[in-house]
Structure 1
């Protein structure tokens, strides 16, 4: 029996989450999380609440305390900027005193918003010029342009052309009836913002109706996410000259060169520049739509997309409009505490330096060494999975083995200045060598990720906390927590998308055709299994296609992490002790901690959003779906064949 203070604490946490009235083999998620859900009511400012949120709350408190410390001579300049940004965000008195002036001053700089202008004329309107101007502020309402690693030549960067994101959370929101509550809430938000900025209400109502009608058409010509999982089909490399031949209605060279040759970027683009068109079907239909849309509607829509993002930097009246909209879309009924918003903004804008502050305050260096050992065992376990598969041929199996200015005075201006610098910094990467040390996530994030083009996994300091990890926990808990997370990211390299990239991160088919077909058959089992789960809060079934990559990663990870734990036990030649007050073996604790990582509650609106737009299954089904396929789980808990948690038919990819 482990009776240390840390063991007593974690035993209490595990015990308090379990619903002992539910049998593990009947529904392991309800068994592991039933009481957690009763005790952890969703806060009014959140649409959902989970174990991840509990950890993130702790991280935010640490960051709040650090950002509220006074500047000292010892602070590096970026740390001083982070503190100034945080203070400018907290200064609501100054924000309120400025009213709409920051946005009133900003809108004319981008060409004006027709809905606010009594004398707007389409005679001088040039869509290309407006799109170039908006690009400086990282706003891409019709055409998305970015710089990223060339998927087939990972030693260089290249321009990517893609369809844009939309104003509502996802494409499927636009496929509802025109008078749907969510669509009307979006339209009403635009009307109210316009009238608060001085528009005539009657004009605003007509203009915003036309604008939303147009956005619905944009959504309809966009390629659905289910059809964007095959990277080979998305990879359409061509020169700008060829792009101009394909879509002669638009001045592509003028558009791209105007953005890239701006003073902050200073890269000249010629018609011989290569670019990857990531969404040909969208662009095939876009220009016909634009030609049949009034210029006033185009100007209103494009400008609305940047106004929509900037109202959160204004006073309470505008934040209240956002809150009313959020009530409809997400079910939240109150704003988050101001300090939480300001910590989040500082973290998103100056994530590296804020992360450095967090690491200095909270990261135990011993955790890094511990993680390296754990990863070593996970690699051994995954290699075992790889070589035990009977559906891979020898050659494929062998290849798989190798595989800016901040002031305290003006919050709105601070955000605008950062956005301009940030988008310029990203686009300047076009002519720079690939920086393989650069992260896509801030150090304080309670998350992890896998990069296909770098073939690397990254797990920041923020996630190395309970329930995922603690240096004094039983290894069973750490392997069930952070071990599962890391195994999940490793397996992403071999899911339906990751398998398309080789050991260098290059996009190419390195599996034989026969192996690909067997993989697809096995993946289809996972698609159908999860597609049959109904999320009762939303009364919708999970999208098995969109979530397949994450589900495959979960399933591979549970096998990998459990085998890695048992490998550790065999190395130590000694089973771990039990925890006080809990009649569970270490093997059982492994699965319990895995499940409790995913304890969560969702409002109806959040559940709908996750099903319609998410690539992850809800936490409940990340537990149930994964463990239904796990012989190790069934054996550990003695679940009879054909019980809910041990069905006869199981899906196995890895």
Structure 2
């Protein structure tokens, strides 16, 4: 037993030890708290600096001399074309949303040198191939395009010949316009065989009407005169290729005239079918026409014989059309061969306007051609759980908003409402991308088959285009090895600017590449996030209930789940959008928007914008209730430098997604698309939204608050 003195000594020692240890931990904790506070302050400062910078960028897009109630698009986007980055873009559409491609391109440039990441993912060999191709592209001559390079001419001669260049050496009797078209599909060229891929297993080819022309699609009326814009643009493109072969002016004119003569006769056939594959099928079915005899050649040349025995007379092919087209091609063999030869050159052409875009072109080409490799690297490096969680949360709030709308709308009868709510409840969300390791691995391994020629970039480019086509056809070529529930390849690609809804899967997809400004940034206030990302999600969540989506049930089957009364009420409301958008005049081309062809996208814009605003308001209500209960101050819902309320910022963020810059030809192209030209998307959405008028204090009768005949479904 211890003595009292010993016991006292032990007690004193323990107290001293306790004090020392306690002091040590207290000091450590104090330093830790101080460091954390400093870190938080630094993060806060960085966030404030970023938000200030982004506010300046948003403001730079605006034309503040225009009142928002007069023309909200011009107010939000009037200066965008003057400040947007000057970079290469192969897409004919130029808008702020699609400019995220530039951000992704910069990420690809970083990933090109990230050998450690590639090694960790066992993809270093494939990355080396991509690096080699990229470096070859940088050192090659791509502007002006070397159309007369021997590699291109040799390829053309091997698949059909170039009579404009070969002259008497070209043999018309051995020329097959169909086989040359089939060979061109292996290089991604849709000549007189226009190939798409079915999105459903077994992913066989779908063939549509050929689309004729180069920079501008030709129509009968658009090339009736040689002074038309369409005529001049296509003439100029063909001249550039033929001049590279040192042909005389008279010879060039003769070749071009022959191509236009062929186009005119070919268009006469297309016009009888109204350009619609479905009508071809109906005609074939009624007349019980035999299969067009050359299809077997196409399947042997393009698909190694796959799928040839899997279809009947009325599957996806217009046999009657091709019977008629063959007669025209037989009359113009030289013109057809010249046209197809120049189409191949057009495919290989970088189409640069200036040399300064050379690097951007190479990055863009590498990004698209090696997409699945860079997607794997990008998703590993960039797509974090925080982003996925927040996007999931916003998506769920938008779904709650959509569900409330379905429950509250008065014109739905109980039966149809029940079916609609069932469909909404079974929508499957995919955020980032869909995963299929087996297919992705196979796609990446295809890169190792790319044969690059050190001394000839055109030779490498030819092999590259063959690789791109093999990748596009991958699921179809390997369908026997894949399960029947395999998804289309586009679902696997996270590094793309895309959000979409699949009717067959009843699924909404928000791809990871979309989650950059002007769509999303984690430091933005919720007002901006809901106006941008929230709108895009709400847009896609409206598609299950647009005029096409209404034809599919909750399992993705085509089925009429609408009562006659509800369908009639829906169609009446949908027709309002047709009439409204028909009234928008495009002064640049003296045409009006086609309200019928753009109907579903306009309905989705209207529903998405309202749904996003409702979701934002509910979100803020929940935050306010929680903060009052916990006595916490809410974060600011504004952006520094923009004198806008949170809900005004919401609408500005939406509008600035669609800031755009059009050349005249792009108006003509967009006129035939399912999307409304961006300016009128904005004007149509906000002028049909009463909340917008209230938020921006627009007087009744002003352009953005017409009040009369406003359209709304949900």
After TM superposition, the score normalised by the length of structure 1 is 0.83
Residue matched to 2:341: 303
Partners of 1:298 and 1:165 in 2: CA distance: 14
Partner of residue 406 from structure 2, selected from 380, 386, 405: 386
Instruction: Show the counterpart of 2:435.
Output: none
Higher mean C-alpha deviation, range 378-387 or range 402-411: 402-411
Shift of the 337–425 alpha-carbon distance from structure 1 to 2, 3 Å rule, reads: same
Asked if 2 retains the 8 angstrom alpha-carbon contact of 1:158 and 1:275, the reply is no
Aligned residue number for residue 499 of structure 1: 550
Q: Following the alignment from structure 2 to structure 1, what is the Cα–Cα distance between the partners of residues 88 and 365?
A: 20
Note the aligned Cα RMSD (angstroms).
3.7
**Cα pair 2:178 2:192 within 8 Å, conserved:** no
2:575 is matched with which residue?
A: 524
Return the match for 1:34 from 78, 86, 91: 78
Match of 2:131 among 83, 96, 109: 83
List per-residue Cα deviations over 1:518-570 (Å, max 9, x = no partner).
Answer: 43332222122122212334443222233222211111100111111112122
Higher relative contact order (CA 8 A, sep 6+): 1
Does the 8 A contact of 2:87 with 2:357 survive in 1? no
The 1:123–1:56 alpha-carbon spacing in structure 2 relative to 1, beyond 3 Å, is: closer
* 1:472 aligned residue (523, 536, 541): 523
Alpha-carbon spacing, 1:226–1:294, altered in 2? closer, same or farther (3 Å)? closer
Cα distance change, pair 223–434 in 1 and its aligned pair in 2 (3 A): farther
User: Aligned partners of 1:133, 1:633: CA distance in 2, in Å?
Assistant: 54
Q: Which moved more, 1:345-354 or 1:381-390?
A: 381-390
Aligned pair in 2 of structure 1 residues 453, 234: CA closer, same or farther (>3 Å)?
farther
Q: Which stretch shifts more, 546-555 or 504-513?
A: 504-513
Give the counterpart of 1:12 among 52, 56, 60: 56
1:161 matched to 2:207? The reply is: yes
* Partner deviation per Cα, 1:15-36 (whole Å, 9 max, x = no partner): 4444444332222222223354
1:315 maps to none
How many residue pairs get aligned? The number is 621
Contact 1:138–1:420, Cα closer than 8 Å, also in 2: yes
Note if contact 2:289-2:320 (Cα within 8 Å) is conserved in structure 1. Answer: no
After TM superposition, the structure 1 = structure 2 runs for residues 40-59 of structure 1, keeping only pairs within 5 Å, are: 40=84, 49-52=94-97, 54-59=99-104
Partner Cα distance (1:628, 1:286) in 2: 47
Give the secondary structure class of the aligned counterpart of 1:277: coil
Q: Which runs of 5+ in 1 are unaligned?
A: 313-321, 324-332
Instruction: Give 1:329's aligned residue.
Output: none
Report deviation, 1:156: 5.5
Q: Which has the larger radius of gyration?
A: 2
- Check 1:143–1:520 CA distance in 2 against 1; reply closer, same or farther (3 A cut): farther
In the alignment, structure 2 segments of 5+ residues that lack a partner are 1-43, 424-445, 626-633
SS in 2 for 1:276: coil
Q: Secondary structure in 2 aligned to 1:138?
A: coil
Answer whether contact 1:346 1:354 (CA < 8 A) is retained. no
- Among 114, 117, 121, which residue is 2:163 paired with? 114
Instruction: Give the corresponding residue for 2:384.
Output: 364
Kindly report which structure 2 residues correspond to 1:182-201, keeping only aligned pairs within 5 A, or say none.
Answer: 182-197=230-245
* Correspondent of 2:510 among 452, 459, 477: 459
The within-5 A match list for 1:133-532 is: 133-149=183-199, 157-168=203-214, 171=217, 175-176=221-222, 177-179=224-226, 180-197=228-245, 202-222=250-270, 246-248=288-290, 250-259=292-301, 262=304, 267=306, 269-270=308-309, 276-277=315-316, 286=325, 289-290=328-329, 293-312=331-350, 322=351, 334=354, 337-403=357-423, 404=446, 405-406=449-450, 407=452, 409=454, 410=457, 411-422=460-471, 424-428=473-477, 431=480, 432=482, 433-436=484-487, 438-440=489-491, 442-532=493-583
1:596 to 2:656 alignment: yes
> CA deviation digits over 1:251-306, x for unaligned, max 9?
055245424662xxx53632765863276895686455446x33333333333322
Which residue matches 1:101? 150
Structure 1 position 125 matched with structure 2 position 125: no
- Counterpart contact for 1:42–1:48, Cα < 8 Å: no
Contact 1:102 1:412 in 2 (8 A): no
Q: 1:485-534, CA deviations, whole angstroms, 9 ceiling, x for partnerless residues?
A: 11112222332333333333334444345544443332222122122212
Are the counterparts in 1 of residues 531 and 654 from structure 2 also a CA contact under 8 Å? yes
Aligned to 2:36: none
CA positional deviation for 1:470: 1.4
In the alignment, is residue 646 of structure 1 matched against residue 705 of structure 2?
yes
Question: What does residue 612 of structure 2 align with?
Answer: 561
Instruction: Work out the CA distance in 2 between the residues paired with 1:243 and 1:299.
Output: 32
Distance 1:57 1:284 in 2: 45
8 Å CA contact 2:202–2:476 kept in 1: the answer is no
Distance 2:401 2:257 in 1: 57
**TM-score, with normalisation over the residues of structure 2?**
0.77
Conservation of the 8 A alpha-carbon contact between 1:88 and 1:408: no
